[in-house]
Structures are given as C-alpha cells and as structure tokens.
C-alpha cells in the first residue's frame, strides 16, 4: 500500500461507506435482469426483485442461493456493530453460497404449483446476478481492507 492515492481511499474506509456502496449495488441489482430462462415459448428474464420474491420458495426445488441474501444482511449488521471478522466471514459464506445459483443449469423449475406444463430451463445469469454478487463482494473486500489497515496502524515502526 505504497501508492498515496490508494492509501487515501483505504484510510477513508468506514463501515458506513462500505455498506452504502454495497447496498446501492444491491438495489441496482434488484432492478436489472438477473436470470434468463427458457419457458418453452421463448426467453424469460427474471429481474432481481423477482428472484428475491421467488427465492423464498427456492429451497423447495433444492436452491439455496437465496440464503446468501440473509447472510449478506447479517454481515452488514455485524459490520455496523463493530464485529468485523464475523462480518467478513459471513460475507465470504454469502459469496460461496451464491454459487448455488449455477446448479440451476442442472435443474428445471416448475412454472406453476401443480407442475403442469413446460418447466423453466435456466439458460444463463444476466448482469443483475453479477451486480448482486459484486454487492456482497464489496462487503468482504472492504472489511478485509479495513482489517489490514488497522493491523498496519497497530504495528510500531
């Protein structure tokens, strides 16, 4: 960290700045197309808010990426409570758990509660997925930089 511009940014990091950048990314991801499916009649784009709303039902089909949101929320709460290391690890677990989304390549999702009709076939994640992932990564990276900064300040020169 010898670059003065980098040092200036890292020295200004705070829980509020990390949470603000992260939550803005999270909100933007809610309004971007996140997952693209084929419903048998054409492409269906699920925006982030729809993924968030339908995520509560996801465990019924073996999808647990929704729990990354709860880990993310908890990591932000712990960050504000000054519990940096637990917040860091929760955000890392949220990132790891979000990869569960890619299991959709091997699953078909029912379009209705009766399972009648063609299933949704996952095609690919869209930009909203990556922005959602970046919002969680922002927390992990920000906390790691804060921990490193504080460790360097505590070492006598």
Is 115 a residue whose pLDDT tops 70? no
How do strand 120-125 and strand 33-38 relate by DSSP bridges? antiparallel
Nearest-angstrom CA–CA distance, 32 and 27: 9
Q: Is 42 helix (H, G, I), strand (E, B) or coil?
A: coil
Q: What is the DSSP string of 2-18?
A: --HHHHHHHHT--HHHH
Assign 150 a pLDDT band (cuts: 50, 70, 90): confident
Nearest-angstrom CA–CA distance, 70 and 8: 32
Average pLDDT, the chain: 90
Assign 5 a pLDDT band (cuts: 50, 70, 90): low
DSSP 36: E
pLDDT one-digit tens code per residue, 41-56: 899 999 999 999 988 8
Least confident piece of the model among 1-10, 22-31, 133-142: 1-10
Rg (the chain; Cα; Å) = 19
Query: How much is the average pLDDT of 13-21?
Result: 92
């Amino acid at each position: 960290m010898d670059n003065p511009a980098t040092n200036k940014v890292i020295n200004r990091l705070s829980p509020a700045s990390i949470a603000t950048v992260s939550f803005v990314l999270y909100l933007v991801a809610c309004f971007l197309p996140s997952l693209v499916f084929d419903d048998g009649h054409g492409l269906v784009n699920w925006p982030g808010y729809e993924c968030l709303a339908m995520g509560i039902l996801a465990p019924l089909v073996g999808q647990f990426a929704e729990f990354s949101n709860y880990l993310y929320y908890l990591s932000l709460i712990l960050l504000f409570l000054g519990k940096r290391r637990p917040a860091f690890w929760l955000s890392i677990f949220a990132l790891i758990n979000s990869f569960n989304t890619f299991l959709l390549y091997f699953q078909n999702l029912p379009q209705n509660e009766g399972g009648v009709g063609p299933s949704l076939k996952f095609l690919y994640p869209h930009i909203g997925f990556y922005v959602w992932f970046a919002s969680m990564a922002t927390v992990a990276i920000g906390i790691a930089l804060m921990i490193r900064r504080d460790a360097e300040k505590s070492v006598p020169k």
